[in-house]
Chain A
Amino acid sequence: MRLVAIGLAAGVFSAFFGVGGGIVAVPLLILVAGLAERPATATSLLAIAITASAGVVAYGLRGQIDVGYAALLGLPAAAGALAGSAWQQRIHASTLTYGFAVLLTGLGVWLLVG
């Protein structure tokens, strides 16, 4: 039952924002379902494959998907993500993470004022 509730919450969040929903699913899997961090991350990734596919259908039916841009961003990103996660094992840089947090904040400000 807990898993169903987490899934429902992640689904609403994912489709509402057009993101995978890991940002809510992973903490909930740790806090509510009692998984450790790594299994929670890996498991949420597979669940997101289903969630995002359902989101593609929901937005696709509403005519809100640009397949060309999805391919141009999504395919290079998959290669980039594999490289990024390999580098992550080697670098242990909290300074970089703070820089990335600043970047996300900057993007948020841009959305608010732009």
Chain B
Amino acid sequence: MSASTIVLAILLGVAAGVLSGLFGVGGGILFVPALLALGLGQLEAQGTSLLAILPTVLAGTWNQRRYGNLRPRTALVLGLASIAGVEVGARLATELPESTLRRLFAVLLFGAAAQLVLRTRRRTSRYPDSP
């Protein structure tokens, strides 16, 4: 890893973090394209993204705890149930050709963009005076 690659990775990390905090989306949807840009393959980008989101998720959870919105028991049931799903998802991803996985990830990005627009339009119609 060269010095310029390291600087680029840190900058992409900061940018992905700021954008995810600002717009309320997960970091993973930005980490995967960032890691692809840094030269990783699709599967390795996805695995690395899962490790890279952990600090943001933990900091975010710590932050949310103060507002009393957290339902720890619900989260625990969800999280534990997800473990079985994770093995299925990882197996499916590994079996597909990386080029197919990459195209499906593009579809995910389009879906996230659409969800964001819909959510914003709903909010602005609820508060028509806000900019």
| A71-96 to B contact mask, C-beta < 8 Å, 1/0 | 11111111111111111100111111
- B interface size (C-beta, 8 A): 100
Among A16, A65, A68, residue most surrounded by chain B Cβ atoms (within 10 Å): A16
A51 near B82 (CB under 8 angstroms)?
yes
Classify the interface of chain A: helix, strand, loop or mixed: helix
CA gap between A7 and B18 in the complex, in Å? 27
Contact B18 A83 (CB under 8 A): yes
Interface size counted on chain A using CB atoms at 8 A:
91
CB <8 Å contact, A88 and B24: yes
- The answer to whether A83 touches B49, judged by C-beta atoms less than 8 angstroms apart, is no
Please give, as numbers and ranges, the residues of chain A lying within 8 Å of B93 by CB-CB distance: 15-18
Instruction: Please indicate which of the listed interface residues A68, A79, A93, A107 has the most CB atoms of chain B within 10 Å of its own CB.
Output: A107
Note all chain A residues with C-beta closer than 8 A to B72.
46
The 0/1 profile, CB within 8 Å of B marked 1, for residues 28-54 of chain A is: 010001010011011111111111111
